[in-house]
Amino acid sequence: GAVVSQHPSWVICKSGTSVKIECRSLDFQATTMFWYRQFPKQSLMLMATSNEGSKATYEQGVEKDKFLINHASLTLSTLTVTSAHPEDSSFYICSASWGRSTDTQYFGPGTRLTVL
């Protein structure tokens, strides 16, 4: 099956610093990548949708200047949390899909971000 990786799996950073999370599709070309955030015991909340070579589309309430998304190639998307604060601590998950016909998204293992 399709494999999506994320790096790092766990990161701890100081308040005010920026953190970059990578999402890679290892065995397929992802035309679309999604970034989700999950708080404890809650659902996955879609943050943004990115298509290769174009600007990401952010969901309502998500600050695009704080959560920078770059989808530079068909196998790599990055999420940068800028000037991180403790309230940004969360589990960030990416997913990747190609076209519409497959109707599924393949998820990465997630990245646990802790901001001190």
Partner 1 sequence: DQQVKQNSPSLSVQEGRISILNCDYTNSMFDYFLWYKKYPAEGPTFLISISSIKDKNEDGRFTVFLNKSAKHLSLHIVPSQPGDSAVYFCAARPMEYGNKLVFGAGTILRVKS
Interaction site with partner 1 (CB under 8 A): 4, 6, 32, 34, 41-46, 49, 91, 93, 95, 97, 100, 103-110, 112
> Which residue, 40 or 86, has its beta carbon nearer to partner 1?
40
On whether the CB atoms of residues 38 and 45 are closer than 8 A, the answer is: yes
For residue 59, the Cα-to-chain-centroid distance in whole angstroms is 13
Nearest distance from C-beta of residue 82 to partner 1, angstroms: 24
Nearest distance from C-beta of residue 16 to partner 1, angstroms: 26
63 vs 47, 51, 58, CA distance in Å? 9, 18, 8
